Amino acid sequence: MKSANDEENRKMQPLTGTPAADGFYMPAEWAAQKQIWMLWPQRSDNWRLGAKPAQAAFTAVARAIAEFEPVTVGVNAAQYENASRQLQHPAIRVVELSSNDAWMRDTGPTFVTDGVQQRCIDWTFNAWGGLNGGLYFPWDLDDQVAAKVAAIESCPRYRTEGVVLEGGAIHVDGEGTLLTTEECLLNPNRNPQLECAEIEQRLRDYLGISRIIWLPQGLYNDETDGHVDNFCCFVRPGEVLLAWSDDELDPNYARCRAALARLEQGTDAAGRQLVVHRMPIPGPLYATAQECNGVDWAAGSQARDPSVRLAGSYINYLLVNGGVIMPSFDDPADALAQALLQQLYPQRRVVAVPGREILLGGGNIHCITQQQPLV
């Protein structure tokens, strides 16, 4: 006779097959959400001053989201009490969940649905490049995050052994179109064993999409090898928002134009010509020497240097139920960016949360969050 434990163990095992073959697809970020998942920053070789300022910044993001919907924050055991105290809020749940760092967009699951049930994809994670340019070692706990989230939610899970992908590398419109960059997905430090056509087939198989729009590159100096979520996103089906610079001396100038050409050339899965909105890029932004000195040096992690431009972007915002949570940078372009987002999302309340501290760690609000759609 089967025990309850056998049944639980069976549920923890990954599914065989692929989501698309089973009738599942990834919904767009604007689909109704059950909750947002986050992780708690603590590693002092990425976050300055023992991650204290980053913890305050993550807390502000969690609290801003909690005004719209529930948030679950995964925390390493050593930080459980500290995080629980800082995150006290009726809509914020803290769970013990080990990780190497705090990038839930990239280490968390991608949720898929067939319109009735929810499942999720547990992509293989290699810290943005493994031993060939990855951002830290080891990354074993990060690679387990998606499976642990799935277990907490009792969500059946597909595991992509041999397909490396981070959530920030893709955006979908929920109607069959996917946006990504060649700089990231075709980088030899992700899936060197797969040809471009094979990568495209994996995207179709796992995400239930039928049209892929490849942008050549992402934002200049993005530590992730050009994640699309820091550069270009869907606003709604048929409309995208692209980071934009008119400064010919900005290394982003050519990147923005190359992306625009691809977006204008193609059509989406429904055959629509895309409308492209342009979002100014803040800065240029740099870390101060003092900020860099606050990061503990550790072999294998990235050196921080005030001369290296930060990949600041307003595109790195998160959609929540009824809201938009965007990063601000104390930059003259902040107000313009907020006004543009409010104009593009008239039915949502746009809330700006300081993003500099998260940017110093290498990403922003979209990178540290993962939406779980409502089923």
Size of the site for ligand KQY (CB under 6 A): 13
| Residue type, position 371, single letter | Q
Q: Which is nearer to ligand KQY, 20 or 26 (CB)?
A: 26
Take residue 13 and report the two structure tokens written for it. 């095992």
Q: How far is the CB of 105 from ligand KQY (least distance, A)?
A: 6
Please pick, among 184, 233, 256, 367, the residue that the annotation labels catalytic: 367
Contact present, 355 and 329 (Cβ < 8 Å): yes
Residue 363 is a binding residue for ligand KQY (CB under 6 A): yes
* Contact call for residue 226 and ligand KQY (CB under 6 A): no
Q: With contact defined as beta carbons under 8 Å apart, do 353 and 328 qualify? A: yes
We find the least distance from the C-beta atom of residue 366 to ligand KQY, in angstroms, to be: 8
The one among 135, 240, 279, 285 contacting ligand KQY by CB under 6 A: 135
List 25, 37, 103, 214, residue binding ligand KQY (CB under 6 A)? 103
- Considering only the stretches 149-157, 290-298, 319-327, 358-366, report the one whose residues sit in contact with ligand KQY under the rule CB under 6 A: 358-366
Among 327, 367, 372, 373, binds ligand KQY (CB under 6 A): 367
Candidates 156-164, 288-296, 346-354, 362-370 — which segment interacts with ligand KQY by CB under 6 A? 362-370
Active site residue 367: yes
Identify which range of 86-94, 193-201, 221-229, 237-245 contacts ligand KQY by CB under 6 A: 221-229
What DSSP string describes 187-245?
-TTT-TTS-HHHHHHHHHHHH--SEEEEES--STT-TTSS-GGGTEEEEETTEEEEEE-
Check: CB of residue 337 under 8 Å from CB of residue 346. no
Q: Is 335 exposed, middle or buried (0-12, 13-18, 19+ CB in 10 A)?
A: exposed
| Residue 107 in contact with ligand KQY, rule: CB under 6 A | no
Smallest Cα–Cα separation from 241: which of 29, 50, 39, 77? Answer: 29
Which two structure tokens, joined as six digits, stand for 153?
Answer: 């939610």
Residue 286 beta carbon to ligand KQY: minimum distance, rounded to whole angstroms: 16
Q: Does 328 interact with ligand KQY (rule: CB under 6 A)?
A: no
- Phi first, then psi, for residue 257 (nearest 5°) are -70, -40
- Give the strand order in the sheet containing 171-172: 171-172, 177-181, 211-215
- Positions marked catalytic: 367
